[in-house]
Amino acid sequence: MIRFALLIGAIAAFAAAASAQVPTADAILDRVDRNAVPGSKILVSEMTIHGRRESRTVKSKSWIEGEDKAFTEYLDPPRERGIKMLKLGDRLWTYSPDTDRAIAISGHMLRQSVMGSDLSYEDMMADHKLREAYDARVAGEETLGDRPCWVLELTSRSGEIAYPSRKTWVDKGRFIVIKEERYAKSGRLLKTLEVRSVEFVQNRWLPKEVLFRDVLKEGQGTEFRILSIEFDAPISDALFSKASLRK
């Protein structure tokens, strides 16, 4: 009887220790958000858009302040050079030097592709904290490549979110998302994300090369690469104004 009680106690202790090692979904998302949403950042990036017949690469520079302010200027190729985008809260404008006009992007237009890529304007604007936008649960564990991951199922708290649900693979050691499936309210898969390389910059891990795929369109997806990045960089508040679009 004593041995049986000891055995039961050992099993209970082992189960408690095992469960203690599994963080909550909210704790995991908190760590992910700390990596992904710093106070400010300046980055130079390029995206290679793989269409049905050909591929092309677009280079840009972005200045981002928190979750609500972002300014992007396209640098290359020549036909896209000088195109700019400004985000202020939930408002977005694009500017084309060819027409010398700033156009507000809103409503259904936010779902349109940016320059023929697999990313929509909604995708480009989204820099919110996952912890605040979604309820989450730990659905399991998987290994992708050689990286052990938590698998999370996310459900949006608001009907205004572009993707009402997501399935997200979070690297256990680095606390970054390395794979994601994004779903419509109906449960239909809309887009996928696959991180192909990561980098450690200024004491945080970040995805350096990411493949986005809109599963509803043809093509091999859009590769997004960070060429350089600076966190917590000083940015003039004057940059985040409609007047900057024409400068």
How far is Cα 81 from Cα 119, in angstroms, rounded to an integer? 19
CATH number 3.90.1660.10 is the correct assignment for the domain at 25-246: no
Q: What is the pLDDT of residues 94-104, one digit of tens each?
A: 999 999 999 99
Banded pLDDT at 35 (limits 50, 70, 90): confident
Q: Could you tell me the pTM of the whole model?
A: 0.85
Q: What is the pLDDT of residues 95-138, one digit of tens each?
A: 999 999 999 998 888 888 998 899 998 888 776 789 889 999 99
Q: Which residue is it, tokens 């020549």?
A: 78
Q: How far apart are the first and last CA of the chain?
A: 83
- Cβ-in-10-Å burial (0-12, 13-18, 19+) of 154 comes to buried
Residue 38 is predicted with a pLDDT of 62
- The overall average pLDDT reported for the chain is 88
Are the CB atoms for 62 and 226 separated by under 8 Å? no
Average pLDDT over residues 33-47: 86
Can you give the residue ranges of every domain in the chain? 25-246
Q: What is the pLDDT of residues 154-174, one digit of tens each?
A: 999 987 788 999 999 999 999
